[in-house]
Structure 1
Amino acid sequence: MSFAANERPSSGSAARSGAQARAEYPPSGYWRRWCGDASPPTEALTTAPPEAEAAVAPAPKVVPTEQGEPPYRVLIVEDDRSQALFAQGVLRGAGMEAEVVPLASDTMSMLARLQPDLVLMDLHMPGMSGTELTAQIRSDVAYAHIPVVFLTGDTDPESHLEVLDSGADDYLSKPVRPRHLIAAVQNRVRRARALKQQREQEVRRHPTTGLLTRTFMLQQLTQAFPTQTVGAVHFVVIEGTSALRDHYGYAALDAVLSEAGRLIGEVSGERPAARLNDNTFVVYWPGLPPDRHMLWARQLRDTFTGRQLQIGSDTLRLRACVGYVDLAHGFSDAGAALAAAEEALRAARNDPVGIAAYRPPSEAVSEHAANLLSQLQEALKNERLELAFQPIVSVVGGDHEQYQTLVRLRDGSGQLHTAAEIVPLAERAGLVHEIDRRVMSRAIAILGEQPVGGRRARLFVPQSARSLGQEGYAHWLLDSLKKLDIAGDLLVVDVRLSEAQLHSMIVREFCQQMMAAGVRLCLSQFQSNPEADALLSQLPLSYVRLSSHYAHKIDQQAVQDEMKLLIERAHQLGLQVIGQHVEDPQTAATLWLSGIDFIQGDLVQRANQSMDFDFQHSLL
């Protein structure tokens, strides 16, 4: 095997003046680098003999196509030392980073360390052929797209076909001219980097709307906090989508929302924007001055004003609401900023103008909240959050035990604070996911401690929709259940309606992962409206827990009628309905007459730290 190591110019002054400056012509005495008294390989490849330094101009460098792009990295797999050193010298002389691995068996570990742009290898090597090594490289998804170029002195066309069939991208016949080697490597790497960048762009942006993907958008926001304190995050929700879905179908609605996303992308320009949910979008504008936050919110809302969109032969106009948060309020992480923007969006949907800004609590309240938040952070650090349990009892009787799990915080004076007090603080401070994980861990541990042969209680565990969408969270939950051999149907994940409306896509994806294990979903704080009613059929629910609105106003006939229709609709979909905040027999009786399945409240038993309710002998 040999490269054209001593190729010389034929004649002429041009050849004499320019030949030695070209990378393909090694300096005089280069052959001595392989003699027994030569310097070590690394030094030999970086230091030319004195006479060569005087006579030879520096080799031309490969200039990457993008300014600031890192040098091309090449891994040379070659058992012949002289061949490997010569190829390494040629590529380094052209401005590339080149490393040699003499044993094919060491290639995979070197790939992981070097992360090269291209692998240059010999076809015939001891222990493992080049085609076998290529197949091994291609079997690893991390290197499925890395270019592999062979150097082979084999002139048999069948061998060349075998090389390409193994997954290689190209082959060069030996002896190869150095300039041909440089050109082949350079062109392959440039093309591979361009394709890699294109693949990354495809992953980062939706092909139809051009908006960032939800995952990439959340990554961008995560990197921005807590240092980003100038600018705004705007949430945009398209109203009336449930009625559109019912009338035109899901496919038509999705096409309209994709068009809405395209319009938001047009008006947002280079500013990061993404579709967070079926009908909810987020736009992040770092550096936006405070006096322009409202103007930008109006521009986003008015994106759809006067725009006529088509569904079949029908023309329609969309209405949007916008909630936004000024980052000057200071947020520890992206989750806290998004929670504030969600709070503003909820206010916007109840505002005639359809726009609302996040309003932090008053100073007096903030002082109390800051103290409570400090105690919450300390409780998380020292594992001092407490759980309380409240029975959920069937109105027709039965001995199956099931409890609502409630989180509690005990402050320094011994006073217990409910989830209603601490969760809003946790959302603003970006602590919700940490609380959710702690509560879920404790609940799973309790389920795992139950006797296998006896009655086993079912636990309803509240979780934030954003927690369900955290990377790896679903896998962790399923793995935790599997390790303790817990039946999935003993766990019910409880999600608030307001969060499910904003993050229905996240909830749906999470449930799809849970269904095989039998884990169930409950939609809580449910109050009937077109958007909420649509979720009953869109999400794989098992339970619906009514809002306290129904228990508190159950003496009003209109509320009773609304509740009966809601229960009937849920039963038609195969869902069971829970009435909560039941505090007196009259409310319980009215709920029973309305067809409710379960009741929960102080009438049955106040929440406490024990799970000792007698389901078998309870009478309602």
Structure 2
Amino acid sequence: MAVQDSAPAPDEPGARTRTRAETPPPHYWRRWVPDAPAAGGQAEAAVDEPPAEPATGVALAGAAEPPPAAPASAPAVADGGGAQEEPPFRVLIVEDDRAQALFAQSVLHGAGMQAEVQLEPEGVIAAIGRFDPDLILMDLHMPGLDGMRLTTLIRQQPGCQLLPIVFLTGDPDPERQFEVLESGADDFLTKPIRPRHLIAAVSSRIQRLRAQRRQDKPGPLRNHPETGLATRAWLLQQVDEALHGGARGGLFFIEIGSALSLRERYGYAAFERLMAEAGRRLARIVAPAPLARLNDNSFLALHRDADEAALERAAVAIRERLAAESFPVRGDETLHLRGAIGYAALSHGFAEAGAALEATERAALQARLRPQGVAAHVPPSEQEAQEHLTMLEGQLELAYQPIVAVAGNDLAQYQVLLRLRRPDGTLLPAGQVVPVAEASGRIADFDQQVMEHALHLIARRKAEGSPLRLFVSQSPRTLAREAFAEWMAKTVADLGIEGTSVVIDVRLSDALIHSVTLAEFCRRMLPLGVQFCLSQFEPGQEAEALLAQLPLGYVRMAGRFAAAHADPQLRDQLRTAIDLAHRLGLQVIGQQIEDPQAAATMWMAGIDFVQGNLVHSVGSELDFDFQSAVL
């Protein structure tokens, strides 16, 4: 793609004019640097002087370092009675075409800015954490992950919601410009572009961003005024500083076990007092490391400059000392708390605090399954990381399976099932795709693509006069992102659809770990009418307590209950679970129904909906006849 119109021969009419239109004078290129000549000086006479040829040894992701650029800085800003010089503007150029990237980089370098090129879309998130850009200059059409999907992924990252993203593309389609802006971009520039236009568009947005940052409030409060523990925001800020400063040490995710059961047994007020006291004692145990309470039953501790080889011993010691503590709860009754601890070494190269927090949380999940209750984050090897990227290459395809009311219902409703079509034609199910997407940090992008498709499908069917309800699986890690909740609320409103047409499906195993996050997201969505389903339900004390504490509408039983007709004990468990759900006002779905005996057992147990191959197999069409479907 051409970056600018081909220049006419020097003897052509208008040659000088066109050259001047495309090439700013030298004082324009350097107008932000400290030694820039004054306007109207000698440099102003040299308006026809072309810019210096771009260097060939520029910095590319994964390439050699560039030669040092001339000193440059952003404009000075007032600070009391004097001026304070800001660092140069930083621009991350995401472009798979090397020639295009070098052109943009040379233009920005000439204006006194720092510009880094990222040729591979998959490396952009890491580059953001390393380079900390003021603005991203984004190409639209790139192999693998195009610019719009990459923008969506960036917006899901902590601290990137307001990062300016400007597209620079040769795509002339005006409709595409609207799509780009709707994806979360801030501006759309069309190639070929004049250098002065590119500089002005980039610099004006960065100036506004930095002005806004200067007006922001001071840093987060260090200590919570009631508990005295570190605040979550301050501690995560410390994690960011430690990561960017190259500090060694570790991050510990400490989870108190059986939290839902404890709350159910002693009540919310007593449970809250118990967790507050647990926090105070944990703070003494981990001192001098700061400790913050993350949610109802989990805490985060940061050991800076600690011996990373001794992190496991430290985690074991924290758990043992907590278990030795005796906590009064009611009258003379006392109890001992058990906990699971996941930890991660800061030297693993996390891009930012959010990534480190997710890693330690996943490690805590593994710790719950181990007798010693401790687990370390083990980053994937280069081979595993490449295998993850390779596995996720392809095109998302969605399939649907009807969810049919036992008593009959005209409303069409389907479960949306994710599939990934590999370049070789292989079709991978969600069970293979989701764990890899979570491990590689791509789950939010996948989730949003699926949800976006579902919402637009609901809107289209509504316009056609054939409304439907869709059950859409989502990861709690996606629901925890502030930007996702805002995006979903805006999309539902913009499309004019009823929130009750969407049911967000969350697995029981995920909900037990992320109950606080999930409850907060549910509260944000309830005013819209969005409903929730707890999937893969297995009876148990914590799971049953969760039914009463989350604003659910549906429960989908685990697949093993489809065999209840052949197992009296399983049949009794099914009936008990359905009765509990009905007492709480929830509707129950039986899945994997393959034969009439299974359907009959579900019906006698009081099930509300069934799905499975007996009703209709999974397919790519939404053509099931719900009006005639009565079991």
Whether TM exceeds 0.5 here: the answer is: yes
Residue 295 of structure 1 pairs with residue 313 of structure 2: yes
Instruction: Give 2:278's match in structure 1, choosing from 248, 260, 278.
Output: 260
Give TM-score scaled by structure 2 length: 0.61
Runs of 5+ unmatched residues, structure 1: 1-69, 75-90, 98-192
Give me the whole-angstrom Cα distance separating, in 1, the residues matched to 2:542 and 2:274.
Answer: 17
Question: After superposition, what is the alpha-carbon deviation per residue over 1:417-444, rounded to whole angstroms, capped at 9, x for unaligned?
Answer: 1111111111111111111121111111
Give me the whole-angstrom Cα distance separating, in 2, the residues matched to 1:385 and 1:526.
Answer: 27
Instruction: Give 1:594's match in structure 2, choosing from 585, 588, 605.
Output: 605
Give me the whole-angstrom Cα distance separating, in 1, the residues matched to 2:562 and 2:582.
Answer: 19
* Matching residue's letter, 2:387: N
Shift of 1:537: 0.9
Contact 2:565–2:597 (CA under 8 A) maintained in structure 1:
no
RMSD: 3.4
Give me the whole-angstrom Cα distance separating, in 2, the residues matched to 1:228 and 1:439.
Answer: 37
Shift of 1:301: 1.1
Partner of 2:503: 492
Question: After superposition, what is the alpha-carbon deviation per residue over 1:174-208, rounded to whole angstroms, capped at 9, x for unaligned?
Answer: xxxxxxxxxxxxxxxxxxx9xx76xx553x54333
Partner of 1:315: 334
Residue 305 of structure 1 pairs with residue 323 of structure 2: yes
Contact 1:324–1:345 (CA under 8 A) maintained in structure 2:
yes
Distance 1:281 1:451, change over 3 A: same
Shift of 1:606: 2.5
| 3-state SS of 1:472 partner | helix
Distance 1:264 1:96, change over 3 A: same
Structural mapping, 1:110-129, within 5 Å: none
Residue 207 of structure 1 pairs with residue 229 of structure 2: no
Distance 1:270 1:392, change over 3 A: farther
Give me the whole-angstrom Cα distance separating, in 2, the residues matched to 1:279 and 1:312.
Answer: 19
Instruction: Give 1:527's match in structure 2, choosing from 528, 538, 544.
Output: 538
Partner of 1:437: 448
Residue 251 of structure 1 pairs with residue 269 of structure 2: yes
Give me the whole-angstrom Cα distance separating, in 1, the residues matched to 2:242 and 2:556.
Answer: 37
Partner of 1:276: 294
Give me the whole-angstrom Cα distance separating, in 2, the residues matched to 1:461 and 1:298.
Answer: 39
| 3-state SS of 1:397 partner | coil
Shift of 1:256: 0.7
The structure with the larger Rg is: 1
Distance 1:476 1:588, change over 3 A: same
Question: After superposition, what is the alpha-carbon deviation per residue over 1:392-449, rounded to whole angstroms, capped at 9, x for unaligned?
Answer: 1112222211111122111121111111111111111111111112111111111111
Contact 1:581–1:600 (CA under 8 A) maintained in structure 2:
yes
Distance 1:316 1:385, change over 3 A: same
Residue 540 of structure 1 pairs with residue 551 of structure 2: yes
Partner of 1:373: 389
Contact 2:220–2:233 (CA under 8 A) maintained in structure 1:
no
Contact 2:388–2:440 (CA under 8 A) maintained in structure 1:
no
Report how many residues are paired.
Answer: 427
* Matching residue's letter, 1:324: Y
Give me the whole-angstrom Cα distance separating, in 2, the residues matched to 1:606 and 1:229.
Answer: 54
Percent sequence identity is 43
| 3-state SS of 1:242 partner | helix
Structural mapping, 1:72-471, within 5 Å: 73-74=79-80, 200-202=219-221, 204-218=222-236, 231-285=249-303, 288-313=306-331, 314-326=333-345, 337-358=356-377, 370-376=386-392, 378-379=393-394, 384-452=395-463, 454-471=465-482
Give TM-score scaled by structure 1 length: 0.62
Contact 2:248–2:347 (CA under 8 A) maintained in structure 1:
yes
Shift of 1:241: 2.6
Question: After superposition, what is the alpha-carbon deviation per residue over 1:494-530, rounded to whole angstroms, capped at 9, x for unaligned?
Answer: 1222222222222111111111111111111221221
* Matching residue's letter, 1:413: D
Distance 1:431 1:536, change over 3 A: same
* Matching residue's letter, 2:619: N
Contact 1:243–1:530 (CA under 8 A) maintained in structure 2:
yes
Give me the whole-angstrom Cα distance separating, in 2, the residues matched to 1:591 and 1:326.
Answer: 49
| 3-state SS of 2:566 partner | coil
Shift of 1:217: 4.6
Contact 2:243–2:349 (CA under 8 A) maintained in structure 1:
no
Partner of 1:7: none
Give me the whole-angstrom Cα distance separating, in 1, the residues matched to 2:563 and 2:362.
Answer: 24
Contact 1:321–1:355 (CA under 8 A) maintained in structure 2:
yes
Shift of 1:557: 2.9
Give me the whole-angstrom Cα distance separating, in 1, the residues matched to 2:536 and 2:615.
Answer: 19
Give me the whole-angstrom Cα distance separating, in 2, the residues matched to 1:520 and 1:474.
Answer: 14
Shift of 1:614: 1.5
Distance 1:320 1:608, change over 3 A: same
* Matching residue's letter, 1:609: S
* Matching residue's letter, 1:347: Q
Contact 1:432–1:464 (CA under 8 A) maintained in structure 2:
yes
Contact 2:561–2:571 (CA under 8 A) maintained in structure 1:
yes
Runs of 5+ unmatched residues, structure 2: 1-75, 86-213
Shift of 1:229: 9.9
Distance 1:583 1:300, change over 3 A: farther
Shift of 1:612: 1.5
Distance 1:431 1:606, change over 3 A: same
Distance 1:425 1:213, change over 3 A: farther
Distance 1:368 1:321, change over 3 A: closer
Shift of 1:483: 0.8
Distance 1:596 1:434, change over 3 A: same
Question: After superposition, what is the alpha-carbon deviation per residue over 1:354-383, rounded to whole angstroms, capped at 9, x for unaligned?
Answer: 23345678x8xx95774353342x44xxxx
Contact 1:554–1:587 (CA under 8 A) maintained in structure 2:
yes
Partner of 1:479: 490
| 3-state SS of 2:481 partner | coil
Partner of 1:603: 614
Distance 1:562 1:615, change over 3 A: same
Instruction: Give 2:574's match in structure 1, choosing from 563, 579, 587.
Output: 563
Shift of 1:264: 2.3
Shift of 1:599: 1.6
Contact 2:343–2:376 (CA under 8 A) maintained in structure 1:
yes
Shift of 1:482: 0.9
| 3-state SS of 2:552 partner | coil
Partner of 2:125: none
| 3-state SS of 1:577 partner | strand
Give me the whole-angstrom Cα distance separating, in 2, the residues matched to 1:265 and 1:393.
Answer: 52
Give me the whole-angstrom Cα distance separating, in 2, the residues matched to 1:212 and 1:495.
Answer: 31
Distance 1:432 1:352, change over 3 A: same
* Matching residue's letter, 1:371: E
Give me the whole-angstrom Cα distance separating, in 2, the residues matched to 1:215 and 1:504.
Answer: 20
Give me the whole-angstrom Cα distance separating, in 2, the residues matched to 1:526 and 1:222.
Answer: 37
Contact 2:492–2:498 (CA under 8 A) maintained in structure 1:
yes
